[in-house]
Structure 1
Amino acid sequence: MGRSVLADPAEAGAQACREALGGRQATMLIVFASLSHSTPEMAAAVHAAAGGDVLMIGCSTSGEFTTDGRGAGVIVNALGGPGFTASVRAVPHRSMDLYDAGVTAAGGLDDIDAEHRVVLLLGDGRSGDQQEMVRGAYEVAGAQVPLVGGCAGDDVTQTGTWHFFSSGRDLKVLSNAVLGAAIGSTSPFGIGIAHGWHKIGDPMVVTRSEGGKIYELDGEPALDVYLRRIGAPADLAADPAAFLNFATVRPLGLARRTGEDIRIIFEADPAERSISGLADTPEGALVWFMAADPEKIIDAAADAAVAAAESIAEVDPLGVLVFDCCVRPMALGEDNTELAAERLRDALKPVPFGGFYSNGEIAREPNAKGMHHLTVVALAVS
């Protein structure tokens, strides 16, 4: 892993790549860059610093963090060595059908013959229900190959995201795309998930919904139920910005066999009395209001990373990739966000890690079903 916070994007990219490589040859690069550094010049500099003939995927973020700290810049994670293989795919936004994008993104699995496999996805949280992307990728990967990753960020500006891609000598910078990397290894991968939220109050049944939009809860207009149960002013939905700030840290939890998946509520329609989340909430599902446990949400990044590392306890992890929700710093506050980063560093020492604040987190394995929010997902590589 290499990191640079140099002001010039190209210089930062080259420096981070050289630091990650340490004179070695990489098979694949994974690049996380702040919106200010997500430029074609940065991507070209990273690719050139690795020799100009290397697989590369990456995306813009809402902030990055590493073993060395947080800050706007570029992170390069370099993977390679004996027993490691990879194959990458990209789907531009202009051809975007999210289910088909997931199928394409996971298609590199056809090139990977290895004992241990995983598909790393870098989606785009602004392009609709990314659960459809996960469903498409699952159609290819099946139950035996985990899916993991996150959705590109735009520094919470809602202006659009960028993805960096190379299948070798080519190089593309794409807006609002979907990328996939099928990765194989002779050593295992580990996945960890944590969020630090718990359910409160009585459950509600989703009696009418479509995708991420919830029309009815317990047979009543969803917005009315949401405002009443959360104790919000009745006219809150008339101000979209105020509703967004209020609702993003007052999520719903979708019942799963192993716990609750978080569903951020980000929008309301006062006319049709609906509320909208960032991922599918199916009809018939049980949902609860969720409350944060302050210590557990601080520890969520560390807990996810440790769980990923411990799941491959028979070998030592070489590094960990961390995908942390961009809304969590809003719930934590600046001081606790820094404390969470410190606890992550302490928990993983001396294992290096690179991560970013994402517009949605991806984990599809037996204990997790796809898209997550206000959650931390970690991938340990051995």
Structure 2
Amino acid sequence: MKVAQGIKKLGQPFTLDNKMSLENPLVLVFGNRYLLEDVSIYEEVRSLFPTGHIVFGSTSGEIMQDVVYENSVVLTAIEFEKSKFEVKTKNVKDFNHNDYNLGEDLFNGFPKDNLQYFFIVSEGSTVNGSALIKGLEKNMAKEIGLSGGLCGDDARFEKTLASYNENPKEGEIVAIAFYGDSLEVTSANYGGWTSFGPERRITKSENNILYELDGKPALDLYKKYLGDKADELPKSALLYPLSVRKENEEPLVRTILNINEKDNSMVLAGDVPEGSRVQLMMSTIDDIANGARTAAELAMENRVNNPQLALLVSCVGRKLVMDQRTEEELEEVISIVGENTKISGFYSYGEMAPFAGMGNCKLHNQTMTLTLFSE
């Protein structure tokens, strides 16, 4: 595996860490949404990697090595020397926002022979990440892994962008499939958030829209807990996500993507099934940093080889809590995966990964998710 990295800051061209020649590389480009809206961004990356397979995703912060950037575009180009990959996309608008059908159709379009792993870069504004994952996994063999993340737009929640081999656009979901016995990929996630306050039952919901808790309008109830911070919704919701627990299942953390004042509902990044128990959550800087370390330890637990590349997807809510100390969670990750591992990634509106020791992928919020590669 050969890896080259670079960064583009506002008003400047890309600067690369080396100018090695890469053959048909996978080029992951994560960046600020405004910079990705520049009509010249695709051609600029294409000029650097003429034979590259270029995947774009907008972010709520860019990760490269041990630094968290803002208002930038980070680039990681990977030449796989022993394994192969394919990239395909679908757009939510073509499926009438039926994300389950989109996921199923997207997976079915890939060759299955020697398929090892999927990494997803998904639009993050309107997608139901839980439904997308269920669709992707419907016909997927249990031994095939799946992870990735929902694109971000800082804390604006206006729109997100993604694409493959074209200028970034709204509604795109990009799937990267990896093939080959020589490829070792492991993933894990962990949060570090703590539940508090009374536990309430979801009495009315539809997919990822939450209408009622204990028979009362969900948004009204949530605003009471937020107090003065309710005026800053949906941004302030990133500091107080929800723990959603179904009977006999691990609790999932759900971030609020948007609110609807007309019907007092909240749109979350993933499913919130009726009958589930819900609590507010909060965290501290130390808990979040320790959570990142735990995620790295879980991802490294059963590896045979040291990772050559780590793709990190961390939640924008973690970044808001940590503020000036955000890079501490990267330091914790590097202390576990090793300083020789190339690191790239982004802050997101949702993270995709299985729970430790479990096969099926889940949509998470407020976690650090790692996907580790080696050949």
User: Shared topology, TM-score over 0.5?
Assistant: yes
Query: Number of residue pairs matched?
Result: 362
| Partners of 1:161 and 1:269 in 2: CA distance | 19
Cα deviation 1:65-120 (Å, max 9, x = unaligned):
11152323332223333331111111135414322322243345425425xx1111
| Partners of 2:75 and 2:214 in 1: CA distance | 47
| Partners of 2:234 and 2:9 in 1: CA distance | 33
Matching residue of 1:119: 118
Structure 1 residue corresponding to 2:338, chosen from 324, 327, 349: 349
- Percent identity over the alignment? 22
Change (3 A) 1:174 1:36: closer
Which residues of structure 1 form unaligned runs of 5+?
Answer: none
Matching residue of 1:377: 369
| Partners of 1:78 and 1:267 in 2: CA distance | 34
The amino acid across from 1:308 in the alignment is A
The amino acid across from 2:331 in the alignment is E
Matching residue of 2:326: 337
Q: What does 1:160-175 align with in structure 2 at a 5 Å threshold?
A: 160-166=159-165, 171-175=166-170
Partner SS state of residue 208, structure 1: strand
Does residue 325 (structure 1) correspond to residue 315 (structure 2)? The answer is yes
Does residue 363 (structure 1) correspond to residue 353 (structure 2)? The answer is yes
Q: Structure 2 length normalisation: TM-score?
A: 0.85
Matching residue of 2:8: 5
Give 1:172 shift.
Answer: 4.9
Change (3 A) 1:74 1:221: closer
Does residue 265 (structure 1) correspond to residue 256 (structure 2)? The answer is yes
Matching residue of 2:87: 88
Change (3 A) 1:180 1:91: same
Give the conservation status (yes or no) of the 8 Å contact 1:87–1:111.
Answer: no
Give the conservation status (yes or no) of the 8 Å contact 1:198–1:293.
Answer: no
Give 1:195 shift.
Answer: 0.9
Matching residue of 1:296: 287
| Partners of 1:364 and 1:120 in 2: CA distance | 12
| Partners of 1:265 and 1:162 in 2: CA distance | 19
Give 1:40 shift.
Answer: 4.2
Give the conservation status (yes or no) of the 8 Å contact 1:3–1:73.
Answer: no
The amino acid across from 1:79 in the alignment is I
| Partners of 1:36 and 1:273 in 2: CA distance | 31
Change (3 A) 1:156 1:206: same
Matching residue of 1:147: 146
Matching residue of 2:276: 285
Partner SS state of residue 48, structure 1: helix
Q: What does 1:202-217 align with in structure 2 at a 5 Å threshold?
A: 202-217=198-213
Give 1:60 shift.
Answer: 1.7
CA RMSD, Structure 1 to Structure 2 (Å): 2.8
Change (3 A) 1:43 1:289: same
Give 1:378 shift.
Answer: 0.9
Give the conservation status (yes or no) of the 8 Å contact 1:160–1:176.
Answer: no
Structure 2 residue corresponding to 1:189, chosen from 159, 181, 185: 185
Does residue 250 (structure 1) correspond to residue 251 (structure 2)? The answer is no
Give the conservation status (yes or no) of the 8 Å contact 1:250–1:265.
Answer: no
Matching residue of 2:76: 77
Give the conservation status (yes or no) of the 8 Å contact 1:305–1:380.
Answer: no
The amino acid across from 1:217 in the alignment is L
The amino acid across from 2:217 in the alignment is P
Give the conservation status (yes or no) of the 8 Å contact 2:201–2:275.
Answer: yes
Give the conservation status (yes or no) of the 8 Å contact 2:10–2:72.
Answer: yes
| Partners of 2:359 and 2:138 in 1: CA distance | 17
Change (3 A) 1:221 1:155: closer
The amino acid across from 2:28 in the alignment is I
Partner SS state of residue 131, structure 1: helix
Change (3 A) 1:267 1:181: closer
Give the conservation status (yes or no) of the 8 Å contact 2:163–2:173.
Answer: no
Change (3 A) 1:56 1:157: same
Give 1:193 shift.
Answer: 0.2
Cα deviation 1:192-238 (Å, max 9, x = unaligned):
1011112234432212211222222233433454455x3x44x976x
| Partners of 1:303 and 1:22 in 2: CA distance | 34
Give the conservation status (yes or no) of the 8 Å contact 1:361–1:373.
Answer: yes
Give the conservation status (yes or no) of the 8 Å contact 1:248–1:265.
Answer: yes
Give 1:44 shift.
Answer: 2.2
Give 1:133 shift.
Answer: 1.6
| Partners of 1:276 and 1:157 in 2: CA distance | 15
Which residues of structure 2 form unaligned runs of 5+?
Answer: none
Change (3 A) 1:243 1:154: closer
Change (3 A) 1:246 1:69: closer
Change (3 A) 1:299 1:57: same
The amino acid across from 1:307 in the alignment is L
Bigger drift between 205-214 and 38-47 goes to 38-47
Q: Structure 1 length normalisation: TM-score?
A: 0.84
